[in-house]
Structure 1
Amino acid sequence: MLIANPQGHYHFLKGIDPYSCGVVADPGYEIVFVTLRTPTSWKEGFQLIDRHLAQVECERTALCSIQLRCPAPYPMQGFIDFNETYCRVLKEWGLYLDDLNPLARTNVSPAYAPPTEPQMHAFGYIVKAETPEVRPSLVIAGAGELRDGVLDDAGIIKLGDTSPEGMRAKADYVMKVMETRLDGLGARWDLLNVINVYTVYPIDGFHEDIILNRLGPARRMGIHLHDTRPPVQGIDFEMDMRGVNQELVL
């Protein structure tokens, strides 16, 4: 169910404490997605976001999505512990809505040149659209092959199985999550401009039928394949998606 965030001018899909499942801008508003040219520590990243929002005359409540990069996949408890620290910042900023975290998030671990500490990679925020007929914009949070998003190793699909068959099953599950979230946001495939896949394992044996053939008109955008691990040990395949009209590099 979509939940309104009136102060932020967007709706979100309820997720778990560290993140929502996705966000969509309200009519008359749109998401600006910003990627940092040089990533910075995640705490300094929030200071950077604060300065940027002030420069564009937006309140903190305009912040709607975060992308992080971590040094290595966490053990499950380590991931939970980091999330508690991360969520504390969101609460200090007054971003929670009735004890719910409305921000979408992706947090993954690059296989190439991983950071030495958790880093801020990108963020999205809401602005008033210049024209009333602006296309809807949305960000779907990262999801791996973890049943129902419950932070428990027992929920990992095909745990430890990185065979072609195992990876196919993992990818199929994650694609179903993407489809469900897109539908939950009331959005359409033709609104998407970026579809990210995060894994260090080959996908050439299934990417056509499991991913590309299910993208509808978004297939013309292709997929961005990152040599990157999901943030939790034992999870091997992750995706996120977005459809925005404004992309910036800061």
Structure 2
Amino acid sequence: MTQDFPTGSYRYIPAVFQYSSGVAALPDYEIERVRFDTLVPLAEGFARIADYIRAAGRPLTAFCACELRSPAVVDEAGFRRFNEHYVKTLAEWGLFDGTNNPVARSNVCPDVAPPAEPSFYAFSFTRPKPDSTPTFVIAGGAEARDGAGSYPERIARYREVGPEAIRDKAKATVGSMERRLAAFGHTWQDTTVAQIYSVCDFYPAVTDELVKRGAARSGLTWHFARPPVVDLDFEMDCRRVAREIVI
């Protein structure tokens, strides 16, 4: 089930207050992804993103997805505190109404040379393009099933990192990506990029859970980083965009 966000020219998969599970441009619009050449701290990043979107002649509500880098993993309480701070700017931009948040997000923690504070790695926004082909961004998801319950209750193979456990974690995560793609009527064959975030050896999962299922259609981009919440070990996101730039 998806919902339209007309003021942003995209639709989204409702999820939790801090982010949606994915976004897709509405007809005659496309999603553009912009990556910062170096990480930009959160407040400065929001300011630079606002300037970029406005310079493109778009409203701030066109902001539809972002990729964050954080200093270290946190527990559930710490994750919520960060999210409550993060959504304040989205509310100011007319994106978050206190309950619904259409903006997709990935937020991971580099294991080597992490940033000193939460920072932006990349962002995406919509812009007009008549007769455009579909573009979308699927939010980051790890090996925790959706729904109620604490992370320990929802994490696949909780606190296990052996080859079979990592394979099961990858299988759970890939399944989540496929469900999100299906919500927009897409499959792995429609993606242009798939990204993996883990510091574990996930090679045992590559053939059966990634390549054979189509997730490696355009190759796999591996970031040596951890999911943001303690005890998560494997995260993915994916997208289809025709325009990507580095600033």
2:185 corresponds to: 186
Q: CA deviation at 1:96?
A: 2.2
Tell me the alpha carbon deviations over residues 129-185 of structure 1, each in whole angstroms, 9 at most, x when there is no partner: 1x41x2100000000111206572222111110111111111110000000000001
The one-letter code matched in structure 1 to 2:209 is: I
Work out which of the residue numbers 227, 231, 244 in structure 2 matches 1:230: 227
The one-letter code matched in structure 2 to 1:66 is: C
Correspondences of 1:25-174 after superposition (within 5 Å): 25-96=25-96, 99-129=99-129, 131-132=130-131, 134-148=132-146, 150=148, 152-153=150-151, 154-174=153-173
Counterpart CA distance in 2 for 1:55 and 1:193 is 26
Counterpart CA distance in 1 for 2:166 and 2:188 is 24
Counterpart CA distance in 2 for 1:186 and 1:98 is 28
Q: CA deviation at 1:97?
A: 5.4
Counterpart CA distance in 2 for 1:156 and 1:220 is 27
Work out which of the residue numbers 214, 219, 222 in structure 1 matches 2:216: 219
| Alpha carbons 2:91, 2:98 under 8 Å: kept | no
The one-letter code matched in structure 1 to 2:75 is: P
1:206 corresponds to: 205
Q: CA deviation at 1:220?
A: 3.6
Q: Secondary structure at the match of 1:105?
A: strand
| Alpha carbons 1:5, 1:97 under 8 Å: kept | no
| Alpha carbons 1:16, 1:149 under 8 Å: kept | no
The one-letter code matched in structure 1 to 2:78 is: G
The one-letter code matched in structure 2 to 1:141 is: A
Counterpart CA distance in 2 for 1:241 and 1:220 is 11
The one-letter code matched in structure 2 to 1:183 is: A
2:3 corresponds to: 3
Choose 107-116 or 94-103, whichever is displaced more.
Answer: 94-103
Q: CA deviation at 1:74?
A: 1.0
1:242 corresponds to: 239
The one-letter code matched in structure 1 to 2:11 is: H
Counterpart CA distance in 1 for 2:47 and 2:145 is 34
Tell me the alpha carbon deviations over residues 217-238 of structure 1, each in whole angstroms, 9 at most, x when there is no partner: x634111111110000000000
1:18 corresponds to: 18
Q: Secondary structure at the match of 1:147?
A: coil
Q: Percent identity over the alignment?
A: 38
Aligned residues, how many?
246
Counterpart CA distance in 1 for 2:175 and 2:240 is 18
Residue ranges of structure 2 left out of the alignment (5+ in a row): none
Q: CA deviation at 1:188?
A: 3.2
| Alpha carbons 2:199, 2:225 under 8 Å: kept | yes
Q: Secondary structure at the match of 1:232?
A: coil
The one-letter code matched in structure 2 to 1:175 is: V
Q: Secondary structure at the match of 1:175?
A: helix
Normalising by structure 1, what TM-score? 0.95
The one-letter code matched in structure 2 to 1:213 is: K
Residue ranges of structure 1 left out of the alignment (5+ in a row): none
Q: CA deviation at 1:243?
A: 0.4
The one-letter code matched in structure 2 to 1:22 is: G
| Alpha carbons 1:76, 1:151 under 8 Å: kept | no
Normalising by structure 2, what TM-score? 0.96
Q: CA deviation at 1:99?
A: 2.9
The one-letter code matched in structure 1 to 2:20 is: S
What RMSD over aligned residues (CA atoms) do the two structures have, in Å? 1.3
